[in-house]
């Protein structure tokens, strides 16, 4: 747990981003929910529809809701033009605001429905107009209940905002996701601690406002509101101070290799005089579109991923031909410059423990077929949906007793503990060598190649200086060097490195 | 602001006219065609059993209910053509639910009508209105939930009078009060009616209350007006069967009480 406090103190910018995001989402949620609640209180069908919709949204897992906004916003570019951001703040804001809708809406509608009918008749009887009735009677009498809803929504939103990391919006989820991938528990703990503390503080302040409204103590609720406003203002100021429009944004997906390479690229650009921002822990599926749309400037992607996921190709071509086709396709279709291959492959491969492999006599996928019905296979969360798995399954007629999903890091632990007999490993993974795993041969060549490529967004595709700074990386990283760096980050105990340090080691090793 | 009691009405002027007013809720007929006039300065009681349509008729005056047919004229104008909120501020309204705003103090409750017109009621004027309903002016600072039921309805009456209304509508105003409070408040309202030169319509199911307070009693049954008499005429046996059934209740109670008194004397 070394460095917990240092990490915590270094989270200022993530905290500020988290506060701004959560506050904006709750603010938007309130701005939508309150008028909707007023409308719902005057129309039964609207009430049913609004509450039904909000409840439906609530059943979508927050992670999925966040990811869903990427294709939605992408399709909305037809209407709003190419400048509409598809990743980062906007989709995170919209998804979280939708999420915040239900508790606010439900409490507001319930409060309206439970207003004393005598009081409402009196409001009409003394000659209030609709607006006066709303402002003088309905709103103040509903306020404590509405506030309770806002309080619930705030705690939810602050928690769910950590997931915004996966769509490229900085938040307190950054240290959590980075820590989970690199098994840096101090980082995970610091992120969780900060977000929990933020939720508790918000809850306490909003509770103060709520009680002030119930007891009709103006000083108390106004004071609480001022405190909340000051907190948001402080976060905005902090964020504005650190904001940087021209910085080069480097993406990384949710595994160690990506963190290391992002740091390696970043350090080279910084040395060349560029300002750099990192978007860590992005979902694999959104990274390519993010580069194409320019919300990310640089990513490292893999030929097999682009071939199957982006180009929707299922045919098998040679390794070199695949790369050339991707390079041409990406420039033609998206204006994305594939600068080159880094020199190693991170392909999917099936791996087993050495003792299990010997025991079952399995060294290739062909050997695996007869015993697979007794075995459990572990894969990363997307693997069993991926064309690679489908290709292997169909090419070999592979059927396992059970398929289980693990985050990449826990997949190796599962293999070690026997919870999985076979896993979908990655060829550049340092743990293959460290755990002395047997990588099963693929005689029918069902698995495509996965050369790591450096991708540049259209915005920087013509930047000669930047390209000159990155060109030395092309063809410079062999699979052993990458495995070693990956293992340094993934391992536990002595010799464990942060991605930044591992990137520095890697740079030294490849002579940069 | 002029005190309402400085107003004087010509004796015979018509304040309110109902012209063949009907009200249907689907197939149910709540009002089956009611026509009558209310003169300025009169105190009219609307009496009838539950569901006889008396409350609906009353609420048509300040458009809390709308007629399905016919029309209601207030000072010669069809009430549905008048601006709703302005009409309601000219008409004081007191009802059984009272409906004091729980988040306003007593003073703020009383001042709400003038406030809606952008007027600030002075604390002196609020004190006067509280005194009209026999409450201490100091009560202005209290919250409604600190008051007894009778005190709350007194505040309700004070609130209805705050705009200096021409017309006071009361829908079973004392229905939820204990008999002593009810009697005292009834007396007080009758005095205010005279003192302020009001025109008052009171809905009640209690014929004794109607006979004791009103100058004129309208009896309703099944959405129709079945009797329109003075209390003296009703006591003299006029007004028809339904009216007499209603009059019989308090009369028999009074006779039984008198008999018991004689027996013990």
pLDDT digits 0-9 by tens, A321-366: 999 999 999 999 999 999 999 999 998 889 999 999 999 999 999 9
Total count of residues recorded for chain A: 512
CB proximity under 8 Å: B 140-169 to A: 159
From CA B31, how far away is CA B65, in angstroms rounded? 11
From CA A240, how far away is CA A234, in angstroms rounded? 10
- The 10s digit of each residue's pLDDT in A276-300 is 988 887 877 788 888 988 888 999 9
From CA B78, how far away is CA B16, in angstroms rounded? 10
Using the beta-carbon criterion (under 8 Å), do A117 and B98 form an inter-chain contact? Answer: no
Question: What ranges do the domains of chain A cover?
Answer: 4-242, 248-347+449-509, 348-439
Place of tokens 């013990």: B264
Strand ranges of the sheet holding B167-171, from the earlier edge strand across to the other edge: B91-95, B167-171, B199-204, B43-48, B216-221, B224-229
**A96, A285, A287 from A282: Cα distances, Å:** 17, 8, 7
DSSP letters for A73-95:
HHHHHHHH-TTS--SSHHHHHHH
Residues of chain B contacting residue A140, judged by C-beta atoms under 8 Å apart:
103
* 3-state secondary structure (DSSP) of residue B220: strand
Tell whether the model's pLDDT for residue B231 goes beyond 90. Answer: yes
Place of tokens 């990391």: A165
* The dihedral formed by the CA atoms of A29, A35, A37 and A42, expressed in degrees to the nearest 10: -170
| Same CATH fold assignment for domains A4-242 and A248-347+449-509 | no
A216 interface with B at CB cutoff 8 Å: yes
DSSP letters for B183-210:
HHHHHHHHHHHHHTT-EEEEEES-HHHH
Q: Is A154 exposed, middle or buried (0-12, 13-18, 19+ CB in 10 A)?
A: buried
Q: Do the Cβ atoms of B219 and B233 come closer than 8 Å?
A: no
Nearest to A118 among B62, B64, B99 (CB): B99
* Residue B91 to chain A, least CA–CA distance (Å): 8
**B112, B130, B160 from B141: Cα distances, Å:** 14, 12, 18
Cα nearest neighbour of A122 on chain B: B99
Nearest to B103 among A127, A132, A216 (CB): A216
From CA B186, how far away is CA B22, in angstroms rounded? 30
Name the DSSP class of A440.
P
Kind of pairing, strands A348-353 and A422-426? Answer: antiparallel
Nearest to B112 among A120, A126, A129 (CB): A126
* Residue A140 to chain B, least CA–CA distance (Å): 8
Greatest alpha-carbon span in chain B: 62
| Most confidently modeled range among A379-388, B80-89, B226-235 | B226-235
Q: Do the Cβ atoms of B94 and B157 come closer than 8 Å?
A: yes
| Helix segments in chain B, DSSP class H | 54-59, 84-90, 106-110, 112-116, 123-132, 149-161, 179-195, 207-213, 231-235, 240-264
Cα nearest neighbour of B116 on chain A: A128
Kind of pairing, strands A451-456 and A437-439? Answer: unpaired
Q: Give the containing element (helix H, strand E) for A192.
A: helix A185-214
Using the beta-carbon criterion (under 8 Å), do B95 and A121 form an inter-chain contact? Answer: yes
Residues of chain A contacting residue B56, judged by C-beta atoms under 8 Å apart:
none
Mean pLDDT of chain B: 89
From CA A154, how far away is CA B48, in angstroms rounded? 54
Among B60, B110, B112, B172, the residue to mutate for chain A (most A Cβ within 10 A): B112
Question: Quick one: pLDDT at residue A245?
Answer: 65
Nearest to A127 among B86, B95, B98 (CB): B86
Q: Which CATH number fits domain A248-347+449-509: 3.20.20.140, 3.40.50.150, 1.20.1260.10, 3.40.190.10?
A: 3.40.190.10
- The 10s digit of each residue's pLDDT in A43-99 is 889 989 988 988 898 888 888 888 888 888 888 888 887 778 777 889 999 999 998
Residues of chain A contacting residue B113, judged by C-beta atoms under 8 Å apart:
126-127
What class has domain A348-439? alpha beta
**Fold of the domain built from segment(s) B10-264:** Rossmann fold (3.40.50)
Q: Indicate the pTM of the whole model.
A: 0.73
- The 10s digit of each residue's pLDDT in B7-45 is 444 455 889 999 999 999 888 888 999 999 999 999 999
* Residue A113 to chain B, least CA–CA distance (Å): 16
Name the DSSP class of A310.
I
Among B63, B64, B96, B97, the residue to mutate for chain A (most A Cβ within 10 A): B97
* Residue A231 to chain B, least CA–CA distance (Å): 30
* 3-state secondary structure (DSSP) of residue B224: strand
Radius of gyration (Cα) for chain A, nearest Å? Answer: 26
Share of chain A above pLDDT 90, in %: 49
Cα nearest neighbour of A130 on chain B: B85
**Looking at this predicted complex, what is its ipTM?**
0.86
Nearby residues of B153 by Cβ (< 8 Å), 6 or more positions away: B94, B98, B173, B174, B176, B177, B181, B185
Question: Quick one: pLDDT at residue A62?
Answer: 86
Cα nearest neighbour of A132 on chain B: B116
* Residue A117 to chain B, least CA–CA distance (Å): 8
Residues of chain B contacting residue A141, judged by C-beta atoms under 8 Å apart:
102-103
Q: Is A309 exposed, middle or buried (0-12, 13-18, 19+ CB in 10 A)?
A: middle
Among A114, A115, A126, the residue to mutate for chain B (most B Cβ within 10 A): A126
From CA A326, how far away is CA A303, in angstroms rounded? 7
Q: Is B121 exposed, middle or buried (0-12, 13-18, 19+ CB in 10 A)?
A: buried
Residues of chain B contacting residue A124, judged by C-beta atoms under 8 Å apart:
64, 88
Residue A336 corresponds to which tokens in the numbers above?
A: 């994305």
Using the beta-carbon criterion (under 8 Å), do A127 and B99 form an inter-chain contact? Answer: no
Query: Residue B142: pLDDT band by 50, 70, 90 thresholds?
Result: very high
Residues of chain A contacting residue B103, judged by C-beta atoms under 8 Å apart:
140-141, 216
From CA A461, how far away is CA A297, in angstroms rounded? 9
Cα nearest neighbour of A135 on chain B: B116
Q: Do the Cβ atoms of B141 and B107 come closer than 8 Å?
A: yes
- CATH architecture type of domain A4-242: Orthogonal Bundle (1.10)
Kind of pairing, strands A337-345 and A451-456? Answer: antiparallel
Question: Quick one: pLDDT at residue A7?
Answer: 84
Q: Is A28 exposed, middle or buried (0-12, 13-18, 19+ CB in 10 A)?
A: middle
Strand ranges of the sheet holding B77-78, from the earlier edge strand across to the other edge: B28-39, B14-25, B69-74, B77-78
Using the beta-carbon criterion (under 8 Å), do B84 and A127 form an inter-chain contact? Answer: yes
* Residue B156 to chain A, least CA–CA distance (Å): 9
Nearest to A379 by CA among A350, A347, A356: A350
A131 interface with B at CB cutoff 8 Å: no
Question: Quick one: pLDDT at residue B5?
Answer: 42
* 3-state secondary structure (DSSP) of residue A348: strand
Nearby residues of A248 by Cβ (< 8 Å), 6 or more positions away: A269, A274, A275, A276, A277, A297, A298, A460, A466
- The 10s digit of each residue's pLDDT in A233-278 is 998 888 877 666 678 999 998 888 999 999 999 999 999 999 898 8
Phi and psi, residue A10, nearest 5° = -85, 0
């Amino acid at each position: 747990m070394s460095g917990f406090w240092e990490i915590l103190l270094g989270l200022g910018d993530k905290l500020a981003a988290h506060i701004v995001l959560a506050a904006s989402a709750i603010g938007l949620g309130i701005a939508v929910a309150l008028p909707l609640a007023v409308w719902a209180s005057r129309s039964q069908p609207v009430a049913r529809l609004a509450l039904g919709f909000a409840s439906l949204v609530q059943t979508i897992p927050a992670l999925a809701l966040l990811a869903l906004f990427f294709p939605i916003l992408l399709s909305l570019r037809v209407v709003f033009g190419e400048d509409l951001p598809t990743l980062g703040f906007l989709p995170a804001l919209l998804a979280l605001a939708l999420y915040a809708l239900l508790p606010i809406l439900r409490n507001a509608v319930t409060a309206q429905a439970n207003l004393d009918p005598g009081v409402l008749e009196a409001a009409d009887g003394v000659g209030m107009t609709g607006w006066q009735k709303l402002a003088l009677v309905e709103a103040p009498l509903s306020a404590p209940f509405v506030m309770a809803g806002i309080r619930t929504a705030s705690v939810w939103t602050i928690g769910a905002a950590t997931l915004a990391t996966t769509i490229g919006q900085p938040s307190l989820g950054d240290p959590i996701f980075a820590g989970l991938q690199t098994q840096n528990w101090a980082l995970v703990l610091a992120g969780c601690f900060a977000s929990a503390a933020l939720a508790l503080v918000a809850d306490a302040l909003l509770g103060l406002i709520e009680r002030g409204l119930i007891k009709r103590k103006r000083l108390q609720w106004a004071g609480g509101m001022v405190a909340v406003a000051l907190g948001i203002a402080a976060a905005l100021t902090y964020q504005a101070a650190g904001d940087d429009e021209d910085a080069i944004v480097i993406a990384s997906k949710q595994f160690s290799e990506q963190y290391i390479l992002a740091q390696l690229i970043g350090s080279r650009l910084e040395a060349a005089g560029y300002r750099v921002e990192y978007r860590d822990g992005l979902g694999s599926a959104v990274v390519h579109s993010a580069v194409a749309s320019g919300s990310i400037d640089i990513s490292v992607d893999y030929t097999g991923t682009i071939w199957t996921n982006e180009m929707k190709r299922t045919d098998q071509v040679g390794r070199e031909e695949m790369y050339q086709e991707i390079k041409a396709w990406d420039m033609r279709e998206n204006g994305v410059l594939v600068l080159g291959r880094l020199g190693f492959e991170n392909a999917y491969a099936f791996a087993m423990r050495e003792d299990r492999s010997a025991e079952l006599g399995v060294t290739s996928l062909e050997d695996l077929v007869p015993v697979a019905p007794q075995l459990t296979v572990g894969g990363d969360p997307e693997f069993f949906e991926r064309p690679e798995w489908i290709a292997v399954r169909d090419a070999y007629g592979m059927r396992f007793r059970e398929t289980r999903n693990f985050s990449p890091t826990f997949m190796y632990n599962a293999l070690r503990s026997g919870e999985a007999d076979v896993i979908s490993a990655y060829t550049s993974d340092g743990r293959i060598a460290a755990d002395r795993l047997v990588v099963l041969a693929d005689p029918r060549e069902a698995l495509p190649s996965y050369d790591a490529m450096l991708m540049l967004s259209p915005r920087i595709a013509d930047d000669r200086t930047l390209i000159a700074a990155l060109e030395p990386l092309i063809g410079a990283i062999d699979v052993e060097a990458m495995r070693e760096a990956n293992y340094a980050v993934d391992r536990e105990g002595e010799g464990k490195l942060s991605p930044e340090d591992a990137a520095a080691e890697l740079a030294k090793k490849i002579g940069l | 602001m002029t005190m309402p009691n400085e107003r004087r009405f010509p004796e015979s002027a018509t304040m309110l006219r109902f012209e063949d007013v009907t009200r249907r809720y689907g197939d149910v007929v709540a009002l089956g065609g009611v026509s009558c006039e209310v003169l300025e300065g009169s105190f009219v009681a609307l009496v009838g059993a539950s569901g006889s349509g008396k409350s609906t008729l009353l609420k048509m005056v300040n458009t809390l209910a709308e007629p399905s047919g016919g029309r209601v004229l207030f000072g010669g104008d069809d009430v549905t053509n008048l601006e709703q909120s302005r009409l309601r501020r000219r008409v004081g309204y007191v009802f059984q639910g009272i409906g004091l705003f729980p988040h306003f103090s007593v003073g703020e409750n009383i001042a709400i009508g003038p406030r809606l017109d952008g007027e600030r009621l002075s604390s002196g004027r609020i004190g006067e209105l509280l005194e009209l309903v026999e409450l201490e002016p100091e009560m202005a600072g209290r919250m409604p939930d600190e008051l007894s039921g009778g005190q709350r309805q007194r505040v309700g009456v004070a609130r209805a009078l705050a705009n200096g209304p021409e017309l006071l509508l009361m829908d079973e105003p004392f229905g939820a009060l204990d008999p002593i409070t009810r009697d005292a408040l009834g007396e007080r309202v009758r005095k205010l009616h005279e003192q302020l030169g009001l025109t008052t319509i009171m809905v009640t199911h209690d014929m004794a209350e109607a006979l004791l307070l009103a100058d004129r009693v309208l009896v309703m049954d099944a959405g129709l007006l079945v009797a329109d008499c003075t209390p003296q005429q009703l006591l003299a046996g006029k007004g028809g069967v339904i009216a007499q059934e209603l009059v019989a209740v308090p009369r028999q109670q009074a006779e039984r009480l008198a008999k018991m008194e004689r027996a013990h004397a």
